[in-house]
A and B are shown apart, each in its own frame.
Chain A
Amino acid sequence: MIVDIKDVRKTYKGGFEALKGVTLGIKEGEILALLGPNGAGKTTLISTICGITNPSSGSVTVGGHDVVKDYRPARSMIGLVPQEINLEPFNKVIDVVTYSRGLFGKKANPAKIEEILKQLSLWDKKDARVMMLSGGMKRRVLIAKALSHEPRVLFLDEPTAGVDVELRKDMWDVVAKLKEQGVTIILTTHYIEEAEAIADRVGVINGGELLLVEEKAALMQRLGQKTLQVDLQAPVESVPESLAGYELELAEDGHALRYHYDTTGESTGITRLLGDISAAGLQLKDLQTEQSSLEDIFVGLVKEDAA
């Protein structure tokens, strides 16, 4: 485990409990997405690992170094891309990135800075003042700063919040490239498609608690509800009584029936359903199934948590 979080609690002054005992191990080289609604505790968790806030109790180690007692080696390994675009507006792009490298105690290395800026398509903007850049470009500058000291663990706090679709795809490409280089990436997001698109594992966090962490595929399979849609030759006004036991839904103005089933159950009931449909005298036109998305899983979990 390159990052090891043990029972971390954070209570802010005033009594608000932002983290209620989070335990999580992050493997070297993986991409972990922390998924949760606003105010779930995602940013507090990242801030605690990176040294911006101190944990009230519990411990975090990065590369085996405690982030509080042994903060120098721990923080040297970490790059942080914050959620807000926090940049010195009057400085040149290359200067703010070079500054970050210095701040992390790394010897100046113009070739490395050039490589990073090129990788992020910022090289032609290197002499531009930060305030002249577009929002998306500023976000790239934040990433360049975080990468300037060659971290082994990169935290991306809501990297694509308020970013257009094209740039979001670009950002995902950047993340994929970093993973190839062996960088461990932890990103927070409330966009489920983001976690679905790039994460190896997904953690769901809500109300300061980590509800689950699982391989993305396994998570989707385990909780994966599927839906079978049966398209009919001729529309029906209501579900025939003989099919009442299946809890079918009418769809597309009676041209289709929808059936929800669990792929992990002992039997899905599809064979029996199809038999019963033809027994009821309905003509099948087409069949389609769809996997429920992470979004459905997520909504289910958060609702369960609230209940």
Chain B
Amino acid sequence: MNYTAVWAIYSSEMVRFFRTIAQSFISPVISTSLYFVVFGAAIGSRIDQVEGVSYGAFIVPGLIMLSVMTQALSNASFGIYFPKFIGTVYELLSAPISFFEIVLGFVGAAATKALFIGVVILVTASLFVDVPITHPWAMVLFLVLTCVSFSLFGFIIGVWAGNFEQLQLIPLLVVTPLVFLGGSFYSISMLPAIWQKITLFNPVVYLISGFRWSFFGTADVPVGLSLLAIFGFTSLCMVIIWWIFKTGWRIRA
């Protein structure tokens, strides 16, 4: 194991993050505040409570998930796509490091950034509303696994993407709708019966439901299913990355 190399990749990715610390820090704070103004104050004042939780508090787990998923995706996909784009990927390929170590460096950094942003949003949100955390360890587990799995997913997108449009394609066309329709801002029980069934095909529902359970102790789907979903998704990404490693797909000719 070439830890020095993993650290070199990880720290150089983190340097990029800290170089733009203002953007990294301020943008989630502002967007969270905006969500609270719009959903919490303007709309939320007309919704009393959802499953015994004030609407303002109810949307906090969904908000964190929304940002964490999109940030992990964009950071990880950009992290590996950028060297491909500017050509510095030659160095990764010719260095005495395994593909696993490359993944560890890039995905580790992307997951760290996403985790940081998730925590920033949680802190910002708790300035607006009272956010109880019933199962703190489960909360941390769900948060970390989501950061890691979506960073792995982002890494795959970054390897696959042949241009900047493709880099944006999956996050914009697939992930954002799934997250919005995954119960970030509502409980599935608020939907008409037919949509309650259809929405169960959306994998993000399981992640948000489980994460919300760790806060309020109530969930749309059983927590076990949520855990299964997050572990399943993480494993799937790992298998795909292992396959990329075996075949050198879009990386090594």
Q: Which residues of A contact B (CB under 8 A)?
A: 12-13, 47, 50-54, 71-76, 78, 80, 82, 84, 86-91, 95, 99-107, 145
Q: Give the distance in Å from the alpha carbon of A75 to the alpha carbon of B90 in the complex.
A: 13
B252, A53: Cβ atoms under 8 Å? yes
Which A-chain residue is minimally distant from B95 (CB atoms)? A103
B230 to chain A, nearest CB (A): 32
B96, A82: Cβ atoms under 8 Å? no
Q: Which residues of B contact A (CB under 8 A)?
A: 2, 4-5, 7-9, 12, 15, 19, 86-88, 90-97, 248, 252-253
A12, B253: Cβ atoms under 8 Å? yes
Task: Contacts A54-B253, A103-B5 known; list 11 others, CB within 8 Å.
Answer: A51-B93, A51-B94, A78-B94, A86-B88, A102-B8, A103-B9, A103-B97, A104-B95, A105-B2, A105-B95, A145-B91
B94 to chain A, nearest CB (A): 4
- Which residues of chain B have C-beta atoms less than 8 A from A54's C-beta? 248, 252-253
- Which residues of chain A have C-beta atoms less than 8 A from B92's C-beta? 103
A53, B8: Cβ atoms under 8 Å? no
Known: A104-B5, A105-B4. A53 touches B253 (CB 8 A): yes
- Which residues of chain B have C-beta atoms less than 8 A from A53's C-beta? 252-253
Q: Give the distance in Å from the alpha carbon of A82 to the alpha carbon of B248 in the complex.
A: 20
B88, A72: Cβ atoms under 8 Å? no
B1 to chain A, nearest CB (A): 10
B88, A88: Cβ atoms under 8 Å? yes
Known: A103-B9, A104-B95. A88 touches B86 (CB 8 A): yes
A50, B253: Cβ atoms under 8 Å? no
- Which residues of chain B have C-beta atoms less than 8 A from A78's C-beta? 94
- Which residues of chain A have C-beta atoms less than 8 A from B87's C-beta? 82, 84, 86
Known: A54-B248, A86-B86, A107-B4. A100 touches B96 (CB 8 A): no
A103, B88: Cβ atoms under 8 Å? no
- Which residues of chain A have C-beta atoms less than 8 A from B96's C-beta? 71-76, 104-105
In the A-B complex, the 8 residue pairs with the closest CB atoms: A102-B8, A86-B87, A75-B96, A72-B96, A50-B94, A105-B2, A103-B95, A53-B253
Query: Which residue from A51, A73, A89, A107 sits with its C-beta under 8 Å from B86?
Result: A89
Q: Give the distance in Å from the alpha carbon of A73 to the alpha carbon of B96 in the complex.
A: 7
Query: Which residue from B8, B90, B252 sits with its C-beta under 8 Å from A99?
Result: B8
A72, B94: Cβ atoms under 8 Å? no
